[in-house]
């Protein structure tokens, strides 16, 4: 299975129903970040097989380990895993523009990778696949390097505030829906934090974030819902009075 997954890493993105769940309940105590968790990232991933039109599956196929028919769900895993793990290992830069009705300004958020996801893509392993309840399941694993562990500890040790938010994305968009939900989660986290710390609405806020702990993601009323929390490093706040 691992060899097969590697062969289809470049599989095309399909806009189908896909569900990814990170089980925070497997950590004790809940949400704690022990040294071993910081070093070793291990997250469960699963995709609904019914979500892929034309995919014929029977339990006998799973028993025979006939994985060749699962190119679509596996290709989705290869897009979701680097996106999330890169946010946990290196983080994202952001530019946030708050909504301002009086000035006719719409809320806007731009996210860019601090380090390209290709840097960590080769270190991600997909292991222990199994079929259960018509789902293709696998574990995604990533071991941080010494410098990446030091980077995490630096984020955690320099009094960066912790922010959190809930975001939603369209299930019909597949991976793009999960990315949309993550963006909305970050937008909500930034908005909630700065509403408490800034008196006058600024023109623009930029900074960086690192996903602090294992995310949780599910489906609610036909939408992905994701809960993320971050370490926040604020870069610059631009006031309207500057211009």
Are 82 and 122 a contacting pair, CB within 8 Å?
A: no
Flag whether the pTM goes above 0.85: no
State residue 80's pLDDT score. 86
Angle between helices 71-89 and 146-157 (to 10 degrees): 60
Percent of the chain with pLDDT over 70: 75
Q: Which is more confidently placed, 131 or 184? A: 184
Task: Give the count of domains, the chain.
Answer: 1
Q: Is 185's pLDDT higher than 90? A: yes
Q: Which domain holds residue 102?
A: 2-242
**Residue 15: is its pLDDT beyond 80?**
no
Which pLDDT band holds residue 44 (cuts at 50, 70, 90)?
confident
Residue 233 CB-density burial (10 A; 0-12 exposed, 13-18 middle, 19+ buried): middle
How far is residue 233's CA from residue 242's CA, in Å, rounded to a whole number? 22
Residue 167 CA, chain-centre distance (Å), reads: 11
Give the C-alpha separation, 69 to 187, whole Å: 38
CB 239 within 8 A of CB 200: yes
DSSP bridge partners of 168: 225
- Average pLDDT of the segment spanning 134-159: 90
Element spanning 30, H or E: none
Tokens representing residue 193 in the block: 């934090």
- 3-state SS class at 129: strand
For the chain, what is the mean pLDDT? Answer: 79
Question: DSSP string covering 163-200, please?
Answer: EEEEEEEEGGGTHHHHHHHHHHHHHHHHHHHHHHH-SS
Specify whether the CB–CB gap between 121 and 82 falls below 8 A.
Answer: yes
């Amino acid at each position: 299975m691992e060899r097969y997954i590697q062969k289809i890493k470049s599989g095309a993105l399909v806009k189908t129903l896909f569900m990814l769940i990170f089980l925070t309940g497997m950590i004790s105590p809940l949400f704690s970040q022990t040294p071993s968790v910081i070093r070793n990232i291990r997250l469960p991933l699963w995709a609904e097989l019914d979500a892929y039109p034309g995919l014929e599956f029977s339990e006998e196929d799973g028993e025979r380990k006939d994985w060749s028919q699962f190119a679509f769900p596996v290709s989705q895993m290869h897009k979701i895993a680097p996106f999330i793990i890169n946010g946990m290992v290196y983080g994202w830069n952001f530019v946030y523009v708050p909504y301002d009705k009086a000035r006719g300004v719409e809320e806007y958020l731009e996210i860019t990778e601090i380090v390209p996801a290709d840097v960590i893509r080769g270190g991600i392993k997909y292991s222990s696949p199994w079929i259960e309840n018509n789902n293709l399941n696998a574990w995604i694993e990533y071991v941080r390097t010494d410098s990446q562990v030091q980077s995490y500890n630096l984020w955690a040790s320099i009094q960066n505030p912790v922010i959190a938010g809930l975001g939603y994305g369209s299930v019909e968009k597949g991976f793009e829906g999960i990315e949309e939900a993550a963006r909305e989660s970050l937008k909500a986290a930034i908005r909630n934090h700065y509403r408490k710390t800034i008196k006058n609405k600024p023109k623009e806020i930029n900074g960086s974030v690192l996903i602090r702990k294992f995310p949780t993601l599910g489906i609610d009323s036909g939408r992905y819902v994701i809960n993320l929390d971050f370490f926040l490093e604020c870069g610059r706040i631009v006031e309207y009075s500057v211009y």
